[in-house]
Amino acid sequence: GSDDIIAGNVSKYIVLPAGYCGQPKKGHLIFDACFESGNLGRVHHVTEFEYDLFIRPDTCNPRFRVWFNFTVENVKESQ
């Protein structure tokens, strides 16, 4: 559930659709937050254009998640 503890950041995490086998294609997004101030803890694929993103809490204030910092690669045109 969304109450699970998120311990670390995603690092070049490739999100593939459920049941997909094979090499990632253009449009299979790659999320990365493995850098200073990155805070993306988990990603779930919902649809081609929808993802659930789980942001780690701020180190100094674990009650709040008011900012986010991560990168996304491998997008295709009009995605």
Tell whether 1 is covered by a domain.
Answer: no
Residues of the chain with pLDDT under 70: 1-7
Our count of domains for the chain comes to: 1
CA 27, CA 79: separation in Å to the nearest integer? 7
pTM of the complete model beyond 0.75: yes
Tell whether 12 is covered by a domain.
Answer: yes
CA 13, CA 60: separation in Å to the nearest integer? 26
Q: What range defines the domain where residue 16 resides?
A: 7-78
Tell whether 2 is covered by a domain.
Answer: no
Instruction: Say what the pLDDT of residue 4 is.
Output: 59
Tell whether 58 is covered by a domain.
Answer: yes
